[in-house]
Amino acid sequence: MSTTTSYSNNFQLKLIGTGREAGTWGSSMNENLKRIESAMGKLVEIDVEDMPSGSTSANSGNSYVATWLTIDSADDGESGSEGRCRFVEVKDSGGLGANVPSLKIAGSAATEVPARLLYIKNSLSANALTVTCDGASSTVSIPNNTSALVMVVPDATTDHAIGVHNLLDKIQAGEIDFESNGVISFSSGTNSIGIPNGSAQSLRILDATGGVTYLTFDTVDDLLEIGSDVSTALKATFVWTIKNSDTNAFSLTESGGTSVINVDTTNGEIDINRDVVLGTSATEIDSTSNSQSWSMKDNVTDALAFDAGASGVEMLRFDTTDSDEEIHVGVKMNAPDIRINGTDGYLNFNTTVGSGGYGIRDNSGALEMRNSGGAWEALGSILQSVADSAATANGTGGENRKGEFDIGPFRVIFDTIEVPIGLTPTTINPNVNSEVYAVYACVGENLGIARFAPAAWVSDFNSTPEVSFYNPNDGAVKVTYFVIGDSDF
């Protein structure tokens, strides 16, 4: 055995030579035990801007690199002994600015690399911390207010090159239990969580008791399954971004593989293959923000249909049969205005459309009407004929004729008034929604009936009434007039 007293290379433990330390052996052994205790679990705080004696502080002149000499023969608790401590909290004096300092772990000199296992907490004001050593091929970056278990390797090995390594780069653990409000976060870069391949339950996320499974990663069928209790699993509000320019960017399918909803981001479409039912709280489908276009299936009799729900009564149906495109209205229509766009259109009744049916049509701006089995006739001629027939009813002039009747959407009203000879009959004054269609003058008991056009009857009536219509026994002319328009007059 050596008779010379020396020190170990790393933590500077005193190696007492044979026959040495007579009377002081106990104090030397106690110092060794203190150094071992520091290496195993003592905490030290170091300021990168005010490093321990012998070390170099970080400043702008050395690019904010603090060199820490961790091998020193100083007794425990003395300046220089801080490098033996296992737990290190790194702080600063507030002069770093936005610079990221480096803590260079050194031995007894800046170029020496010691073997160290350090738990380092970054308590700098607001900066990240880089841990390095001389000739390091790898370093460890510790974000602000976080910790890392750092291993300094002085000699290249099969698994590690010379440098500083994060001992927790890879962790194998049977169970990790996070404390309240625990967070898993990635500070930067591209990060991955690797799970086993070929397992139907390669990774599960579930509650602590195992009662509810929130997510299951299936690497057999490459599926992500949401737990059966969806109301519990999907309570959070989230935005789901899907792949662009993909005909199957997102798809919901039944267990048998039948697609229910498919989102096509290539053509900008959502394909729905099941009935869409609006719940009791739904009051409208709002498409007011943009112009909309609804495309229906071509060449079918029921491309789109609206019915009355449980009763099944057809309300509206779109027939896209080629050359016979139609909109079928199955119930009464109630609207203040109905416009048939374009010219030469038809308003048909029953099943036959166009000229072969019956109803009302636009013939180059002239309205015509046709009864079932009849011929198309000008609507004006039909109304004039009705007026003429009403005026000549009972065969002789002089009677007081009064009545009204409807023709389709029109109301015809006729009445008889007495107008004194020579006066203008101003009492004929229907409202603005109506039009005086025909006027007839009747004089005496046995005189005939003369008809006047609406625009000229007043002047004709006042020209020479005593010649044409005068009857000394009456002293007045009876005028029967017809008003054709809506019913509001």
Task: Please choose, from the candidates 358, 388, 354, the residue with its C-alpha nearest in 3D space to the C-alpha of residue 376.
Answer: 358
pLDDT score of 467: 30
Tokens of 312: 């099944």
What confidence score (pLDDT) does residue 406 get? 52
- Point out the residues of the chain with pLDDT beneath 50: 233, 391-401, 407-410, 419-489
In this prediction, residue 18 carries a pLDDT of 81
pLDDT in tens, 207-258: 777 677 778 888 888 888 876 555 554 555 556 778 889 898 888 888 777 8
pLDDT at 170: 77
How is residue 52 annotated by DSSP?
A: P
d(CA 346, CA 353): 8
pLDDT at 163: 87
State residue 62's pLDDT score. 92
Q: What is the pLDDT of residue 293?
A: 80
Is residue 300 within 8 Å of 311, Cβ to Cβ?
no
8 A C-beta contact, residue 315 and residue 306 = yes
The 3-state DSSP class for residue 451 equals strand
Half-sphere exposure of 293 toward its Cβ, with a 13 Å CA cutoff? 3
**Number of helices (H), then strands (E), in the chain:** 5, 29
| pLDDT for 132 | 94
Q: In whole angstroms, how far apart are CA 42 and each of 14, 121, 164, 222, 231?
A: 19, 14, 21, 49, 50
